[in-house]
Structure 1
Amino acid sequence: MAFAASVAELQAEASCPLCHDYLKDPVTIYCGHNFCLSCIRQCWKELQDVFPCPLCLHHCPDRNFKKNTQLCHVTDIVKQIPATRSKRILQEEKSLCEKHNKVLILFCYEDLELLCPQCVVSFDHRNHQLIPIEEAAVKHRRNLRSYIEPLMVEVEDAEMGFENQIAKTFEVQREVENWRKELHYEYKELKCSLEVEKDGINTSFLKEETVVEKKLTENRRKISNHMVMLNNLLSEIAEKYLQTDLDLLTGIKNIHNRYENLETPAVFSYKLKREFCPLPPHYFGFFKMVSTFYVDLTLDPETAHPSLIISRDRKTVTYRTPSGHHPRAGTSYPAVLSSEGFDAGRHFWEVEVRGKGEWSLGVCKDSTCRNAPRSSSPANSCWHIELCTSICGTCTRGHIMRVGIFLDYELGEVSFYNMNNRSYLYRATDRFTEKLLPYFSSAYSSKSLTLSIVRDE
């Protein structure tokens, strides 16, 4: 065994590092390495001024080659020794460069490519970091190991996203089903006058559900494909990690590119477009009236009672029972007016009422309503509806009511609607001859009451 190893080592020393065949016309270059004369000439064929050694990269000052006669004789002697099986296997296992058909010996860290001696001296890799294959394999094996955990996290996130989309599909179905139940209840209340409209709204629900489910399904498909791609990449990296150095580094650039260019598909977010149940035939124009004549009001702090707190955006007024009350002169109820007034046209606004206590909403004449009257009769120049937020003056904590007010100035009407169930409440009529201002008020008996102007939805 020792003799066979010595023979194999001797045969290796008599071989050219470039062609891996026995040396032909061996020459020694400046750094002391030996090559076939034709091999080193071919390697330096297109170079000028600088001639790096293909093995150690030491710069030789010129093309002067020293013929090594003694090594030539040694090579002739070695040729007579039969090639050992280990050498033949070693030569068969050597991977060759596709461009130059030379054995791959180095790895370019910038281009992530395996290089043969001919590649090393080309202009494509000049000034690049070139390292031995074994060292490069160690570094890239370490990199591949660092990819595994993030990829596992990506897979887990993708699986969670996939499950989330499935859950959202059921959520859409449940929400639509709840709307169907509400719709059924409303139609029972409105009886046969709304039966014709029911099928149309159910169709809209089905269409909306179908569209959203289709988008969710498509999004699940994208996430599923992404999961497959991630798992494939993870498996490929895990397999690559265990390969030999040459196999690991072959195609490593493609794995790097795929990992660095991973794009996680966006999760589809949805907002269902809800269809509302229409009112009976004589109120079919209600929603058109709301959308056509909706006005954006703001509260006027200059007209506010001292017990009222106006929000910064001037959309909400809150009444808190004061510890000691000292009414401002000329003010009866805790009230506030809108900054906007109307002396013509049709206008609609909506107010949300929260809390516990009595409240008043309506319009007042600009000339008289700044001293808010105690009565709601038209003789006092103020038209408003006054209700308790709950029966018998009590209110469940968290109760919310929405009231819509529609002013038709020329017709001389102020109408009120319960926006919770979209039902008609009350109407006051008179002949309007001056500017009218929206009016918001709370009674002193109220505990904690908030009135908010609803923005156009």
Structure 2
Amino acid sequence: MAFAASLASCPICLDHLRDPVTTECGHNFCHSCIHQRWEGLQGTFPCPVCLHHCPDRSLKRNAQLCCMTEIVQQISIRRGKRKRQKEPLCKKHHEVLTLFCEKDLELLCAQCRVVSHHQNHPLIPIGEAAASYRRKLKSHIKAKTNHLEVVEMLYKNQVENTLEVKRKMGKWREELGNECKEIKCFLAIERNEIGNDLLIEEKDVEEKLIENRRQISYHMFRLSNLLSEIGKKYLQTDLDLFTGIESIHNRYENLETPAIFSCDLKKGSYNVPPNYLCLHKMIRKFLVDLTLDPKTAHPNIITSSNRRNVIYKTPSGFPNPQDLTSYPAVLSSEGFDAGRHFWVVNLEGTGECFLGVCKESFPRNTHISPSARNGCWQYSLWIPMSGPSPIGQPKIGIFLDYELGEVSFYNLNDCSYLYGITDTFTEKIMPYFSIAPSSESLTISIIGGKR
């Protein structure tokens, strides 16, 4: 039966012979297939099988082979009737799909190979294509399984972050409550305002985390469904494998992991002692960002590359005459001729320093001692080598009210008031920083504020 079927098949379209004709060399073809293959040729007409040159296009119809083809077709129809009821057929030619177009990702029948636009496309048998795509699906299963594990870990982290947000908020509320007990009446209004801010922030962060968890959960659901679908598709028959394979391929390629919401919390500045709650408001409202001006620096004053840190450095060799007639100081690049301004510095190490403001015209390169009389208003701080300092390793806040002519100094470690200066300002005022020559281990650092 197999031999008869091979005789009844056309070598060109690989289908049953239709109106069979026989060439001079003895090979059989469909009448339409051989004439389509010879279309446009003149002179000699090569046999598609053995390349024997046939003298002309006139070929005799093989009646005996035609009868044999009909018999083979009837037997094939009866034997494959049940199978063909299950197998998908070509919608155009109603024949069994046996080929796969790698360019268009479509299943084709043998007739499509001859008469459709797929003639020049790479076509391979379904079995070969199925094996290739099964390998791809297997790699997808492994990759997406790992991806699912990562996403599950992200989901777990976001659940933990939600609990951490609640824990931190609870801890900060407790701290706020302990501080408010000192002067309950005075802090009642402020406590309510801060509590509301925390509640809003907590609700906002929690809502974003919940929404992010929902997105991740939905992504996990899609991943799980896709993995299940890929797994089922992997086990299907060759023909069923390609039903919807393009859809699975597109969903796999376009599946994106949702962005992860970062829940970094900024602790509110509500732990200010009651008597200086106004200081907290003052900092928030008037904090400025300063940088040091190296052009105004004394030769022994060294400023950092970011222009925020300053130290004193004893010169080697013979001293510069200017070193003996001026005070080791440096000014800010920014000056003020109106308004209210607040800046913060850190003091690290041991020694003596002077913080304050001076007039823009203040003569720095002279032996005159800086004072309010010559336009320099400063406050001295001493941090001893051993033993506790009166203010510890301080963070100092300086507040300038130009119109009122006031300069105030605060220890921001405990929000205590240190010192105040009152005068009349008539020109631009520059923030002033100085380190005593005996204080090589002391560093003044400007803390950045808003721009």
Residue in structure 1 matched with residue 379 of structure 2 by the alignment: 385
- Compute the TM-score of the two structures, normalised by the length of structure 2: 0.79
Q: Which amino acid aligns with 2:329?
A: A
Could you tell me whether the CA contact under 8 Å between 1:108 and 1:115 is conserved in 2? yes
Q: Which of 325, 329, 341 is the matching residue for 1:330?
A: 325
Pairing 1:172–2:168 present: no
Q: How many residues are aligned here?
A: 434
Cα distance in structure 1, aligned partners of 2:108 and 2:222: 30
Distance 2:241 2:73 in 1: 35
Q: In structure 2, how many angstroms separate the alpha carbons of the residues matched to 1:364 and 1:419?
A: 23
Measured in 2, the distance between the counterparts of 1:131 and 1:28 equals 28
1:74 aligns with 2:68: yes
Provide the C-alpha distance between the structure 2 equivalents of 1:390 and 1:214, rounded to a whole number of angstroms. 50
Give the 5 Å matches for 1:247-262: 247-262=240-255
- Cα distance, 1:405 vs. partner? 1.3
Q: Is contact 1:28–1:34 with CA below 8 Å preserved after alignment?
A: yes
| Preserved contact between residue 99 and residue 107 of structure 2 (Cα < 8 Å) | yes
Corresponding residue number in structure 2 for 1:350: 344
Q: Please say if 1:403 is aligned against 2:396.
A: yes
Residue 217 of structure 2 is aligned to residue 221 of structure 1 = no
What secondary structure sits across from 2:181 in the alignment? helix
- The alpha-carbon deviation at position 438 of structure 1 amounts to 1.5
**Deviation at residue 292 of structure 1 after TM alignment:** 4.8
Return the alpha-carbon distance in structure 1 between the equivalents of residues 99 and 250 of structure 2: 21
| Corresponding residue for residue 208 of structure 1 | 201
Q: Which residue in the other structure is 1:449 paired with? A: 442
> Which residue identity does 2:325 align to in structure 1?
G
Normalising by structure 1, report the TM-score: 0.78
Distance 1:360-1:173 versus aligned 2 partners, 3 A rule: farther
Stretches of structure 2 that go unaligned for 5 or more consecutive residues are 42-47
Q: Could you tell me how far 1:428 is from its partner in structure 2?
A: 1.5
Task: Evaluate the alpha carbon distance shift between residue 409 and residue 100 of structure 1 in structure 2; reply closer, same or farther with a 3 A threshold.
Answer: same
How high is the sequence identity, in percent, across the aligned residues? 52
1:290-344 CA distance string (max 9 Å, x none): 4554443332223323443212232221346778895712234x42222334444
What code does the residue aligned with 2:294 have?
P
Distance 2:246 2:59 in 1: 38
Map residues 74-223 of structure 1 onto 2, 5 A cutoff.
74-75=68-69, 87-88=80-81, 90-92=83-85, 94-223=87-216
Instruction: Please say if residues 364 and 383 of structure 1, whose CA atoms lie closer than 8 Å, have aligned partners that are also in contact.
Output: yes
Given that 1:316 and 1:450 are in contact with CA atoms closer than 8 Å, whether structure 2 keeps it comes out as: yes
Tell me how far apart the structure 2 counterparts of residues 174 and 442 of structure 1 sit (CA, whole Å).
Answer: 44
Change over 3 Å in CA distance of 1:288–1:124 after alignment to 2: farther
Following TM superposition, by how much is the alpha carbon of 1:441 offset from its aligned partner in structure 2, in angstroms?
2.2
Alpha-carbon RMSD: 4.3
Q: 1:163 to 1:446 in 2, by over 3 A?
A: farther
Which sits farther off after the overlay, 430-439 or 318-327?
A: 318-327
- For residue 68 of structure 1, report the CA deviation from its aligned partner: 1.8
Q: Where does the alignment leave 5 or more consecutive residues of structure 1 unmatched?
A: 1-6
Specify whether residues 163 and 323 from structure 1 end up closer, same or farther in structure 2 by C-alpha distance, changes over 3 A only: farther
Q: Contact 1:356–1:394 at 8 Å: present in 2 too? A: no
SS of corresponding position for 1:186 = helix
Query: Residue 442 of structure 2: SS of its match in structure 1?
Result: strand
Alpha-carbon offset, residue 270 of structure 1: 3.6
Q: Is the Cα–Cα contact under 8 Å of residues 99 and 109 in structure 2 kept in the other structure?
A: yes
Change (3 A) 1:79 1:165: closer
Q: 1:3 — aligned with what?
A: none
